[in-house]
Amino acid sequence: MPLDIRTNAERKSMSYYFFPENIDWYKYTPTADTVKMFHYAQKSGIFTCPGNYIIKRKARTKKNEYNSIMVGLTIEGTGYLHYSGKRFKLTQGCGFILNCNYAHKYYTDKHDLWKYIWLHFYGGQCVEQTAYIQNKFGPVFFSVPDGKIESQLREIFNLGGKTGQKTDILINGHITNIISEIMLSELQNSNKLAEIPPILNQAIFLIENNYKNNLKLDELAEKVKINKYKLIRLFKRYMDRTPYEYLIYYRIQKAKILLSDVLLSVKDIAGMIGIKNVSYFIKTFKYYENLTPAQYRKNI
């Protein structure tokens, strides 16, 4: 039987999983002072995945939180991540950062087995930092092989089995460096892209000012005077979404603001953002936020 390294919280949150039999991993025991003040490691490991390796965690609420941030980085092979309603391919040098309280799934390519190094950590401002990275850059980042991020992950892995304040301080420093390097690498990658073309800004402006209406792709393309297929390509290149996906994304952001008003029903909010079918709204909201509107409202 494979070794089960899950915590009790993880067992409750995972709908299914498979751990490889031969794994290198450590569980960390930070001091109470470290937990109060710093980032601290929970677990880390290096997995070479068998063909049926898969991890899937359910969305959590405040009543049954699994408080952990996870960073993973592909060493070789190919993995896949499903997070925030999107699927990401993880090849060599591709990494991810995610909040384990939100539903997610990751697994190996059966024909190109995935080897990756990973870290679960918590503490400090890690939740806010992770949210900032995801909102600005998304959950996936790129790091050159054997670069600074992989080096920091290996330093933490090599500190596994050691305890004490000195170890905790070193780990905090490495985690801080990892978060900083993710931000810096993504800023550098984003700066490589040219400034968003004015015609795309026009299209975005039209979507954001007509999100309550059923703005059609043909109509949008006609208004900004561009071929609709070229418009789709521009959205995919600069926004990582199609025009329709951006419209839905923007509606969900507006819905999140409206959910803070307890006098508005979920049905009211659906209508206010241009979605007539409340069941479709609930399903779409959960697809993007890993929580239903009612669950999200409770967590505000």
Amino acid letter, residue 90? L
Superfamily of domain 8-192: Regulatory protein AraC (2.60.120.280)
* Phi, psi dihedrals of residue 67, rounded to the nearest 5°: -80, 100
Superfamily of domain 198-299: Homeodomain-like (1.10.10.60)
pLDDT mean over 16-36: 76
pLDDT at 9: 53
Q: How many CA atoms lie within 13 A of 201 on its CB side?
A: 4
Q: How many residues appear in the chain?
A: 300
Q: Which of 182-196, 222-236, 237-251 has the highest mean pLDDT?
A: 222-236
pLDDT at 23: 64
Beta bridge partners of 40: 122
d(CA 41, CA 141): 20
pLDDT at 8: 56
Instruction: Please give the structure tokens belonging to residue 112.
Output: 């190109």
pLDDT at 122: 97
Domain ranges (residues) in the chain: 8-192, 198-299
Q: pLDDT band at residue 77, thresholds of 50, 70 and 90?
A: very high
Mean pLDDT over each residue of the chain, to the nearest integer: 87
pLDDT over 80 at 57, yes or no? yes
Amino acid letter, residue 188? Q
110-154 pLDDT tens trace: 999 999 999 999 999 999 999 999 988 889 988 865 588 999 999
pLDDT at 294: 92
pTM: predicted TM-score of the whole model, two decimal places: 0.63
Instruction: Please give the structure tokens belonging to residue 30.
Output: 């930070």
